[in-house]
Structure 1
Amino acid sequence: MIEHISTTPFGRRSLSLAMVAGQMAADGCAPGASANKWQVFRAVCEAKGLLGASDRALAVLNALLSFHPDADLAEGEGLVVFPSNAQLALRAHGMAPATLRRHLSVLVDCGLVVRRDSPNGKRYARKGFGGEIEQAFGFDLTPLLARAEEFERMAEAVRAERRALQLLRERITILRRDIAKMISFGLEEGIAADWKRLHLEYREIIAQIPRTASRLELEPVATELASLAQEVRNALESHVKSKKTSANESHFERHIQNSNTQPHELEPGLEEDQRATVAQKLETRSQPPTGYPLGMVLRACPDIADYARNGISGWADLVETANLVRGALGVSPDAWNQACEAMGAVDAAIMVAAMLQKGEAIASPGGYLRSLTAKARGGEFSIGPVLMALLRGRGGAQARAG
């Protein structure tokens, strides 16, 4: 049996409470305890956030475990490993010496290993007359065994939290889709409701969502979205109930002459605007903008797809969806028509999608579009820089989230 000596650090390293706690954990290991070292390592990896261990520190721990010859960690059976820094660096994928020392300190501070420093600071083992190791100086893996059950509980808590976060994100995604689709439907059908206010509330809520959010940060967002979804649904259900109480004749007429539905009070002239859009759609089917494929536009402005009733598979779908969204953004039919005349229906639709994507960054979408229309008339407007800026912004945000 190898003798364990609790020691203070060699050289200029000072003793810390983390070192004392690690030695206490090692000394408190239950007699006869045993655990598979790789199962313990997997639990530690899952619980790394709670333990404060980095990925690089875990790579060093993996290397240390590889110097233990057995698959199991067993109490009292030689859990001190004593590789040199050169050997350890090789198994840690060529880690630099200074980086290696820093991450070894992290493992000690996290209570995952204990330093057993020799009188001269070297790592070695002293054997007895029978050739068996009697005393070893290096890194003691006993805390991993002593805390194996604790690590597993922590890993289970992390897994449960991760699953709860995934379910919450899925709920938010469904709520976002439902709200966008219902607002788009209400605008298209000309149902009387304050769609502009509802849409602004929706954009304000989703603007609160950070790129990387915890469950506690997302729960109030989900609650607000659920409340807003119910309000939008109530507006649609009220319309359905009012139609049911009307005469059968008007009910049938609504289905037969759906294109003649009265526009909602926020946008007089929507009926004529929709008829103009049909003509624009037919024109844009054969005249897509050169150099900017639809897929690129949708990558730069993915939110516009939430408002499409049947998806966006062509430029005509983009123009039709943008015509609905611009009403919710507060862009008047006149401003929309002028933009279509000056820059083309497709570029005007792309600009609406871009304004939707930027959200609150544009205080007055209607005024902003009119300004761009004036530039387009003077030949000073190009859609390219707008798309490139959005793509760079999304790429940077994804990199930060990763």
Structure 2
Amino acid sequence: MASVLSQTRQEFSYSDEPSAAESQTQSQEHAESADLQADSSAGPDVESNLGDDLNATVESAPIRPAFGAVIHRISATPERLAPDVIARRNQLQHPLISQTVPILTPPVARSYALIEESALHGHSGGYVCGAHGDGVSYLLQFSKAMIQRRIPGVVTFYHSFGASQSIDDRDCMAAFAQSFGVGILKGRTADLRVRILRNVALRTRSSDLRTAIFFLDNAQYMQEDDVGFLYDLRHDLRHDLKEDPLSAVFVAGIFPSDFGIMNSRLKHMQHHRSLETSVIERDLGFSSIGTYDELRKLFGTIDQATTGGSKSWTAHFLPRAFRKGYRFEGEAQVLFSLLSKHEGWAELGFPAKTLFACIRSFLTLAKEHDDSRFAPAGVNEDLWKQALDFTCFVESMDRKLVDGTRTGYLGEE
């Protein structure tokens, strides 16, 4: 791996030769370092890419000679990394911690199936509704990537509306241009608008299936300029005078707490009624994890996930316990028992963002007790309680309760 962060620890001595104790310590450190580096080399391709942009850096831990001065050295030799540095690097580079590898949860799988079905039927106007942190944005991004794999020949676009209420037409066009990959932003706003519309139409016309699927995130923040542009976009694709009409499918993600505000704001806009049937007509349904079975399936997915070297994610954090038969799936009962003690939490559904943060915290804490406190059937409620506290799980559930959502839907529905 080129240009990686390195750290060297040496003790200066008046003697040219190290003592027997020092030699033994160095041998142990080299052995541990070799083991940790081997573990790092077995990681997925994404792990190796993370180090490419790191330059040789002044070491965070200084060398302290016997006479008390502090000497900093710059080194880019991976072989000289200290074991604790390698361990920290491996921790940050692991896909579960870096969040670089998507994990398919039961709610995402259900909702994606409905999104794909809508696309195959040519139905536009489907939307998914969930509270902040439930995973709506992740669902849309996952669906965009998955549809490209499962239905090759369509062209997909993703756009997230901003929360600012003071954007003008130029800001609106610049945001769409960035999302849709139109790099030239110069010229009049009207010219930029035409450039975006032509770009999208050309890419759609060039696709094998002549179909464009638009994933619109944070649709509750749509302003009048956004609505007008989407109306023109749909019209230009469906009423192309030069070629046969093109197909356009819109899928939106919306937060329910802002849904009513968005509707009341858009009703006064000129194109609202016409566009409503294309963007926010049908609720496709979205739910958070709120049952033991779904939590168990999620934990089992982590057991089954592997790095490039076929090493289980669970084995990365708890190698000794994993060799004895421990599986993370068994922790689902412990966590669900803790969460279900809170009245109404299961009905609300657990926010995916906070739930994954809690999982990462638990496994990180558990690494320190791999030998002494974990056995094949062993669990530790204290570690889960620490993880819940560290990730502010109670506060996250309180916010969801204020939003008035129950497993992704408005509470009164």
Same fold (TM over 0.5): no
- Pick the structure with greater CA Rg: 1
More helix by share: 1
TM-score (norm 2): 0.24
Where relative contact order (Cα < 8 A, 6+ residues apart) is larger, the structure is: 2
TM-score (norm 1): 0.25
